[in-house]
Structure 1
Amino acid sequence: MSPVFAPGARSRPVYLPAGRWYDFWTGAAVDGGRTVESPAPYESLPVHVRAGSIVPFGPTRQHAFDGPDDPVALFVYEGRDGAFALYEDDGLTSAYESGAWARIPIAWREADRTLTLGPRTGRFPGSPAERTFAITFVGPGRGV
């Protein structure tokens, strides 16, 4: 995320380290190792995601307990291997301090274009018996 501090600015220079990056809002691929000029309209900040990232999103809701967490949206940014662990707890208490939490390992292998969701480890009161995922692959020519 690259905040804009100049009044009235609608873009800003952003340095991206070497590698492939994606514009979070459009999915456009950007080569790093250089400074790029990123659009910064009023409604959004410049955000770039590194290739190989796995970014989870839950459903939009007003309060933490407004219904089930399913589906969990996973955005997989192609271009290199990546791994992520989806961590969950009850979202309300400090029971996680006593081990009441769960984790699902997720890995992307670029070479054979394989996404692996491993077995859930751990449990917590109210944890769902199953979890549903909606997966979107973001890559060159295939934006968000």
Structure 2
Amino acid sequence: MVHIVTEPNRRTAEVYLPSGADWFDFYTGKRYEGGQAVTVDAPIAHIPVFVKCGSIIPMAEPAQCTAQQDETRLKLYVYSGADATATYYQDENDSYRYENGDYMQIPMSWNDAEHRLTIESPCGKPALFDSNKTIELYLNNEYQKTVSYCGEQLEILL
């Protein structure tokens, strides 16, 4: 639940963070304990967004449409505090062939105790994996390193 409060020269929001996990402010990287309401800045430029501990978020640079997306560059945001899994999905961007299985997935997992990120080999239609990927890795919103991924399993300590 988000409650926006407007004050002169300032906008804030009261956001309830569910219990059972800690949460990171997506923009600042600040960690909050769950089970409480927090008041955060909410300028008109962005709404408050929180990420549950134990999350992996694949992101790409903005593009006008998916056909213009640079699929050779990827950013992975890992949020510690619990183990996590995620799947990067890619299809041809310009057809409905994905309905017939023409897509590729790259499974990923985060082992929180070891601070180890594993990026698996592509599955599905690996033919769609047509080039190496440069992956920028972030841990709790802080840049860690850049790695090259050629389609084979990769284990990275962060």
Q: Do they superpose with TM above 0.5?
A: yes
Q: Which residue of 2 aligns with 1:16?
A: 17
Choose between structure 1 and 2: higher strand proportion: 2
Aligned counterparts of 1:125 and 1:110: Cα–Cα separation in 2? 32
Where in structure 2 are there 5+ consecutive unaligned residues? 145-158
Which amino acid in structure 2 is aligned with residue 73 of structure 1?
K
Aligned to 1:55: 57
Helix, strand or coil at the partner of 2:105? strand
Q: Count the aligned residue pairs.
A: 141
CA contact (8 A) 2:3 2:15 kept: no
Instruction: Specify which structure has the bigger relative contact order, considering alpha-carbon pairs within 8 angstroms and separated by 6 or more residues.
Output: 1
Match of 1:133 among 128, 135, 146: 135
Q: What TM-score, normalized by structure 2, do the two folds share?
A: 0.78
Is 1:105–1:118's contact at 8 Å kept on the other side of the alignment? yes
Give ranges in structure 1 of 5+ residues lacking alignment: none
Alpha-carbon distance, 1:102 to partner: 0.5
Name the CA shift for 1:143/1:3 in 2 (closer, same or farther; >3 Å): farther
1:63-105 deviations in whole A, cap 9, x for unaligned?
A: 3223532211000011111100111111110001111000000
RMSD of Structure 2 on Structure 1 (CA): 2.5
Question: Would the alpha carbon gap of residues 114 and 125 (structure 1) be closer, same or farther in structure 2, given more than 3 Å must change?
Answer: closer
The separation in 1 between residues aligned to 2:140 and 2:16, in whole angstroms, is 21
Q: How does 1:30-41 map to 2 (within 5 A)?
A: 30-41=32-43
Identity of aligned residues (%): 30
TM-score (norm 1): 0.85
